[in-house]
Amino acid sequence: MSIDLVWTVSHPTLTGAERCTVHGTDEGWVLAGVVVAVFEGRPIDVRYRVTVDELWVTRTVSVAADELGKAARLDLVRSNTGTWTVDGQAAPELDGCVDVDLGITPVTNTLPIRRLDLEVGAEQEIDVAWVKFPHLRVERGRQRYARLAPETWRYSSEAFTADLAVDENGLVVRYGHDLWRRVEGAR
């Protein structure tokens, strides 16, 4: 499977667009994309690549961001035993996290949606390696996913809740009422 996606985002702190490709490999899946946006009043360009295994468990994450000429780069690796490194350095504060959450794209919501594969009415809390933008800081985050209907999930974290409409592949069609919206025909 290979799917090309385009989203638009409209929020007081973030406006722009994203193009993402999700494709299968012999080892699992690759999610790669670019976000071009205005974040908190400043232009930002973000490129990312996330690899996951066949169970949608995060393996590697590479992110490059350019905000007004200030370039930042981040590389995360999750071992088979659940330990993480950030830019080659051990990150024990992330140990045990299974998923990554890139805070500037809805595509990483697909990882727990696919991995958890909850029945309608079920919910689960998870810990994630949360990448914050624009400075690419990583911290452990606690999130909850609840499956409300076959193609509707509720995502919540400490300070944020949004309902996610997804397609048959668990890819976001709409995030919140109008935060992220997938462009029809761009698939």
Show pLDDT as tens, one digit a residue, over the chain (187 residues): 799 999 999 988 899 999 999 999 999 999 999 999 999 899 999 999 999 999 999 999 999 999 988 999 999 999 999 999 999 999 999 999 999 999 999 999 999 999 999 999 999 999 999 999 988 999 999 999 999 999 999 999 988 999 999 999 999 999 998 799 999 765 4
- Alpha-carbon separation of residue 131 from 13, 38, 94, 104, 117 (angstroms): 17, 18, 11, 9, 23
Count of CB atoms situated within 10 Å of the CB of 2: 8
**What distance in Å separates the CA atoms of residue 125 and residue 140, rounded to the nearest whole number?**
13
Residue 177 has what pLDDT?
82
* Residues 129, 110 contacting (CB under 8 angstroms): no
**Given CA atoms 47, 181, 158, 39 in this order, what sign does their dihedral have?**
positive
**What distance in Å separates the CA atoms of residue 52 and residue 59, rounded to the nearest whole number?**
5
Residue 68 has what pLDDT?
84
Question: Whole-model pTM?
Answer: 0.95
